[in-house]
Amino acid sequence: MKVAFRHLVIPVCLVLIVWSYPRPPEPTLLSFRPGQSFEGVVKDSTFPVLTQSNIPDSGSGWGATWVTEPAVIVRLNDSEHGFTLPPTKFAALSYEKNVAATLATSPMLDTLPFDEALAVLENLQNQFKAGGWEPWADDDSTWFDLTPEGKKRLYARMFEPGYAQEATLRIPKLYGMVFRLKCTEGCWTREPPYRFLIDVGVSRDIEGSKPGDPMIWDPSHPAASRKGMK
């Protein structure tokens, strides 16, 4: 009986240790779209936007929201073209005239080896394709070639000056994006371990704008009437 009791106590103690060990907090959500008001971002997000922002002032309407700790999920809340990024510990969302203007983020919690970074890249690229994003042909942007041969070429590119490859993506007349894979460690010295990071930058469609077109904060801009979570 004593032996059986001892065998029962050990698993119970292990369970208690696991449950009492400090856990990282659940990810919060930073939800936005270019052209959305600061108040709208606050309302749609569970991330504490008010306490983590330079709140846009009543004059210029300039401001920014800062993500500096894990873990935050960034979502573009457009029902047609939206996407949800993996958890991150860095993002900067800027405001002009009190509306969201630009987002810069690395949608990863840490740099990763090449194959792991490519798995994240492929997931993101599939989301962007499904949302109707298009590479901007005028600057020779294309989707990342993730065939076996394409991955080999992409890996080799990481060791060439620039140590990165990027694509400019667009929702014409609406949104623009820089989608980048870059080497952050080892590639220029050829000293492993090699580490990689993905960058995503979102703004209005600058490439498709012409003089006289409404700015992102103008009620007549196409983004002003868009809404809905994906």
Tell me, letter by letter, the H, E, C secondary structure of 63-107.
Answer: EEEEECCCCEEEEECCCCCCEECCCECCEEEEEECCEEEEEEECC
Structural tokens at position 133: 């994003």
Taking the C-alpha atoms of residue 11 and residue 19, their distance in angstroms, rounded to an integer, is: 12
Residue 10 resides in a domain: no
Residue 90 resides in a domain: yes
76: containing domain = 25-225
Residue 7 resides in a domain: no
Residue 5 resides in a domain: no
Q: pLDDT truncated to tens, each residue of the chain (230 aa)?
A: 444 434 433 433 433 333 344 565 789 999 999 999 999 999 999 999 999 999 999 888 999 999 999 999 999 999 999 999 999 999 999 999 999 999 999 999 999 999 999 999 999 999 999 999 999 999 999 999 999 999 999 999 999 999 999 999 999 999 999 999 999 999 999 999 999 999 999 999 988 777 878 888 888 787 777 765 44
Taking the C-alpha atoms of residue 185 and residue 113, their distance in angstroms, rounded to an integer, is: 10
Residue 230 resides in a domain: no
Residue 83 resides in a domain: yes
Number of domains composing the chain? 1
Residue 14 resides in a domain: no
Structural tokens at position 75: 């979502």
Residue 16 resides in a domain: no
